[in-house]
Structure 1
Amino acid sequence: MTITGATRLLAIIGDPVAPLRSPAVFNAAFERLGHDMAFVAFQIKAGDLECAWPAFVAMANLDGLVITMPHKEAVLPLLAALGPTAQLTHSVNTIRRRADGAFEGDMFDGEGFRDGLERAGHPPRGKRILQVGCGAAGTAIACALARAGAATLTLYDSAAARLEALTALLHAHFPETKVQAGHPDPRGFDIVVNATPLGLRPGDPMSIDASLLSPSQIVADVIPNPEVTPLIAAARAIGCATTTGRDMHEGQARLAAAYLGIKGWDV
């Protein structure tokens, strides 16, 4: 890939950025598709986004941004408009520049996760699901699972306020799905979801007790790197079917590429 003064730019912003897969995935796609585009990562600490934002707005050759933790909620007041899922979940993971130069954004974490599940042969419709983690990504995932027809959705988060807020949101918008607060005990569920950051760093504890899993269950993790987290490794050792953060990431990338107007995307 040769970068010139005419190359259009996309970027991902977050902290940390070293484990992120997006630069490699997008740049490989641009080279394969023959697009004169490049994708870079900017490490911006929590609390510094508002200070950095005017620089992104001023970069006329920057067409869009992918947003990851800890900025998915903090970016909201900086945008000119929000898409429907961003309005529902109060978080954003993809931003595009409008014709007037302003930025608008939407959220594809949840639908990307659902897409990964379904492509792996595990549609959530009619399933009993345990989800651990109710942050920005967890909120989007829970909404996508309810929208896709999950029969029951049991939620757990160590922060009671996040858990209560997500439960109320789902009750209001998805009354067909039975939603309840619970505990990180996977017994009795069809699908078990880790939507926490646990597993991202070496030495992280598991979000659930893997010894309580059974081979008939599907275990899904949102962590993209390492792809095989301790939870996924333990689930596979028991005989569970699994989907990984890579499956979710590829689903997100397909949806984000369409939103950003990248033609020919087939990842």
Structure 2
Amino acid sequence: MLASITGNTKIIGVIADPVSQARTPIMANTLLDEKGLWGAFVMLPMHVSAEGFPAFIAGLRALKNFGGAVVSMPHKVVAANLVDELTPEARLVGAVNVVRRNQDGRLIGTMLDGEGFVAGLACAGYSVKGANVLLAGAGGAASAIAFALAKHHCASLCIQNRTPERASALSKRITDVYPQVEVTTEIHATSHYDIAINGTSLGMKPNDDLPISKSLIARCDLIAECVIAPEMTPLLQEASDQGKVVHTGVPMLAAQMNLMLAFMGAE
């Protein structure tokens, strides 16, 4: 297979900090191989800090054999301000999780997290239509998921965030586009949720706080993750211990992998 890497190989990547936990390279390269495209394209991990991210993005415009990259935490929101053009989905969410380099060096950003998350749930047999949903987070991935939940007709959405102002701002943006969905940032004593989602990075590190409290987990039926590694996060472990149905973050990535590769030209 190594002979397939030539001077014509296009480099695609996954940009994150940290990136050592990323499953994207092995999933993407396996899929490229299945499609007969491995060698024409190869995906590499790209470990870039928040401080170095703007300069790194600028440099990608000059790399003529760069096809694009999956953009992961913590860069999704910043990336939306650094690319040259946003798709309607990315503009609506205000974040980017895939970047494509055009032949002229212009960088185009899109957002697939939301559709990927809903599709991942659907593949596991869960529908968001008519569901009362609790969402932890208001960053790039969480925003994408929030808009996708509203688009796919959830009945209500409660957004919680460590910075309440960000939760309120996201709530207003969703209400402006999907006024038929009940969106709130308040949890009431009688509140019960069909689905609870962690849209934050909490859970990637062993000592992270739970993004959803133990007492609130008890008031939810299905607990779902965006964190991919570890696959069984402390949140999911706690939910499982409470007898709740759990849904890992892996299906979200798997559901959007073909879309990501296609957007970067690997089709």
1:204 to 204, 208, 222: 208
Kept after mapping to 1: 8 A contact 2:193/2:220: no
Kept after mapping to 1: 8 A contact 2:77/2:139: no
Q: Give 1:187 shift.
A: 5.4
Kept after mapping to 2: 8 A contact 1:72/1:93: yes
1:49 is matched with: 53
2:29 is matched with: 27
1:158 to 133, 157, 162: 162
1:102 is matched with: 106
1:129 is matched with: 133
Q: Distance in 2 between matches of 1:27 and 1:145?
A: 30
1:93 is matched with: 97
Over 3 Å counting, the alpha-carbon distance change for 1:102 and 1:122 in structure 2 is same
Q: Does 1:179 align with 2:183?
A: yes
Q: TM-score, normalised by structure 2?
A: 0.92
1:173-227, CA deviations, whole angstroms, 9 ceiling, x for partnerless residues? 1111100002498951100111111110011121122355459711101110001
Deviates more, 1:79-88 or 1:49-58: 49-58
1:9-34, CA deviations, whole angstroms, 9 ceiling, x for partnerless residues? 10111211111111111111122222
Q: Distance in 1 between matches of 2:190 and 2:113?
A: 23
The alignment yields a C-alpha RMSD, in angstroms, of 1.9
Over 3 Å counting, the alpha-carbon distance change for 1:213 and 1:52 in structure 2 is closer
Over 3 Å counting, the alpha-carbon distance change for 1:186 and 1:115 in structure 2 is farther
1:61 to 58, 65, 87: 65
Over 3 Å counting, the alpha-carbon distance change for 1:207 and 1:116 in structure 2 is same
Q: Give 1:237 shift.
A: 2.9
1:99-149, CA deviations, whole angstroms, 9 ceiling, x for partnerless residues? 433111110111111111111111100000011111111111100001000
Percent identical among aligned pairs is 33
Q: Distance in 1 between matches of 2:54 and 2:249?
A: 29
What secondary structure sits across from 1:63 in the alignment?
Answer: strand
* Consecutive unaligned residues in structure 2, runs of 5 or more: none
Amino acid at match of 1:25: M
Kept after mapping to 2: 8 A contact 1:184/1:208: no
What secondary structure sits across from 2:183 in the alignment?
Answer: strand
Over 3 Å counting, the alpha-carbon distance change for 1:149 and 1:181 in structure 2 is same
What secondary structure sits across from 1:78 in the alignment?
Answer: coil
* Consecutive unaligned residues in structure 1, runs of 5 or more: none
What secondary structure sits across from 2:78 in the alignment?
Answer: coil
Q: Distance in 2 between matches of 1:55 and 1:224?
A: 28
Q: Distance in 2 between matches of 1:101 and 1:227?
A: 36
Kept after mapping to 1: 8 A contact 2:67/2:265: no
Q: Distance in 2 between matches of 1:204 and 1:215?
A: 22
Q: TM-score, normalised by structure 1?
A: 0.92
Deviates more, 1:83-92 or 1:236-245: 236-245
Q: Give 1:48 shift.
A: 1.6
Q: Does 1:143 align with 2:143?
A: no
Deviates more, 1:208-217 or 1:97-106: 208-217
Q: Does 1:233 align with 2:249?
A: no
Deviates more, 1:214-223 or 1:82-91: 214-223
Amino acid at match of 1:6: N
2:11 is matched with: 9
